[in-house]
Amino acid sequence: QFDHEGLIHAISSEHTMFTEVLVALVVGGVIYFLVQKSKRHQLKSEDGWWGEGTPPDKEEDVSIRPYTVRMDNEELQDLYTRIDQTQSFPSLEDSQFTYGFNSQYLQNVVSYWRHDFDWRRQVEKLNKYPHYKTNIEGIDVHYVHVRPKNLPEGVTAVPLLMVHGWPGSFYEFYRMIPLLTEPSNPGDIVFEVVCPSIPGYCFSEAPHKKGKWLEVLTRDFQQFYAHGGDWGWIVTTNMAQLEPKIIKGLHLNFAPPSKPGLPMVLSIMLGRRFPKMFGFNEHDIQRIYPIVQNLVVESVKESGYMHIQATKPDTVGRGLNDSPVCLAAYILEKISTWTDHDFRTLDDGGLTRKFSLVDLLTNVMIYLAASSPPCASTRRTLARVLTMHVPTGFACFPNELMHTPKLWVQQKYRKLKTFTPMARGGHFATMEEPELMAQDIQNFTKMQEKRKK
């Protein structure tokens, strides 16, 4: 017997699929022509003066000065006084971390901070690596510079710049530094590592003028590799755009799409039905779809801080500077949620599942010890990411704040040499999974060095 209903259903399904494809092509085509085509632009490096007042008549001091992390007894006692004076309030019942840092658990963190955390011991740990400051266009820039101790004869260390983001610091890299400068595998590359504090963060002076955001450049090397995540992604990307001949290779673990080209639009519309056409795997499908929930709702939930910091950083910064407990809650809540979204449903935010309170509070203390504004305006840098033509490696961690499939990364980084789906890890991967990150940097750099030879 002929199956009329089956035939009608098949024709209907084919018609629906054809309609979806046709609509996607039309909409994608319109967007393609509305959005300016990506061109091979190159940012131009500009000289400027970002210090206080007007530039001095004398020649700029480019000397490099040793620096030591410290906090005297008076400053430490003032911190303890402000912690003791904080006032708590109850969170909503069964809210865990869904409305921010749970107040009940925050009291546990504050108690540990006040009575068990040894800041002086952590200062010794911070100072185990050499710190320096140098003046760049009127601003004192801080950085950690670690040279390999026992470099084998005939081996040349490969310079690597690693740039942190917010609300992190150079301390994010402390567990990874020895893996790069003293690798256990004889066949691994030995790195010489520089970790700067972004201007306005931690121990680097903030710009005193509006306008172009200061790029972090090093004066130690003619060529080097660069790694970045979070704001370190955009800093290193801009550096590679400014000086493509100086950056030998760029390694990233965060690269959110900034320009919806036609391939990305089509992949969003058709990727769920035709995943192989766009190189999507099962994890890509899970992170992208449903589109409204994963790409829109989640972004809105986790981006409120960015809007206020990009528009009114001085307002929120004043409150966070005045209250160390407020600053700790503000920073640690991001570390909890951005490490794993599911941590929002836990009473303790899952903070100690991936990190120790010692390391987390050390990061907070760096901001407090530096008396630097914990917020920075971000508007001026967002528009500066153009198409990249520097060899790039990308480590794709499964719990990253914003998932970026390989196809989307390639739209911006045209010389994408490696794309590694990582076994585990989230937004703060350098601190959470230092071994995995160090190995991916090794693999990418080995490939580039071998190709160069």
187 and 161 housed in the same domain: yes
Q: 51 in a domain, yes or no?
A: no
At 379, list the tokens. Answer: 């508007």
Q: What is the CATH number of the domain that holds 308?
A: 3.40.50.1820
> How many Å apart are CA 65 and CA 409, to the nearest integer?
39
162 and 270 housed in the same domain: no
φ/ψ of residue 8, rounded to 5: -60, -45
In single-letter form, the type of residue at position 2 comes to F
Q: 41 in a domain, yes or no?
A: no
425 and 314 housed in the same domain: yes
Q: 46 in a domain, yes or no?
A: no
296 and 352 housed in the same domain: no
φ/ψ of residue 77, rounded to 5: -65, -40
214 and 271 housed in the same domain: no
247 and 271 housed in the same domain: no
233 and 269 housed in the same domain: no
408 and 314 housed in the same domain: yes
Q: 218 in a domain, yes or no?
A: yes
Closest CA to 129 of 204, 217, 193, 65: 193
Q: 371 in a domain, yes or no?
A: yes
Per-residue exposure over 202-239, b if at least 16 CB sit within 10 Å of its own CB, e if not: bbbbebeeeeebbbbebeeeeebbbbbbbbbbbbbbbb
Boundary-marking domain end, from 302, 331, 354: 302
Residue 274 belongs to domain spanning: 4-36+261-302
70 and 183 housed in the same domain: yes
Q: What is the pLDDT along the chain (453 residues), one digit of tens a residue?
A: 445 455 445 444 444 444 444 444 444 444 444 444 434 445 555 556 656 667 777 777 778 899 999 988 999 999 999 999 998 888 888 888 988 899 999 999 999 999 999 999 999 999 999 999 988 877 888 999 999 988 878 889 999 999 999 999 999 999 999 999 999 888 899 999 999 998 888 888 877 555 443 344 445 667 899 999 999 999 899 888 888 889 999 999 999 887 778 888 899 999 999 999 999 999 999 999 988 787 788 888 888 888 888 888 888 888 888 899 999 999 999 999 999 999 999 999 999 999 999 999 999 999 998 765 555 544 444 434 567 889 999 999 999 988 999 999 999 999 999 999 999 999 999 999 999 999 999 999 999 998 766
Question: Which pLDDT score, from 0 to 100, does residue 371 have?
Answer: 61
> How many Å apart are CA 169 and CA 88, to the nearest integer?
28
How many other C-beta atoms lie within 10 A of the C-beta of residue 50? 20
131 and 247 housed in the same domain: yes
In single-letter form, the type of residue at position 110 comes to V
Q: 434 in a domain, yes or no?
A: yes
As for how many domains the chain has, the answer is 2
Question: Which pLDDT score, from 0 to 100, does residue 316 have?
Answer: 85
φ/ψ of residue 249, rounded to 5: -165, 150
Q: 43 in a domain, yes or no?
A: no
373 contact partners, CB below 8 Å, separation of at least 6: 200, 206, 313, 314, 317, 321
> The pTM is what?
0.84
Q: Which residues pair with 419 in a beta bridge?
A: 394
Question: Which pLDDT score, from 0 to 100, does residue 320 have?
Answer: 87
9 and 140 housed in the same domain: no
273 and 308 housed in the same domain: no
Q: 202 in a domain, yes or no?
A: yes
Q: State the Cα torsion 442-254-168-422 to the nearest 10°.
A: -50
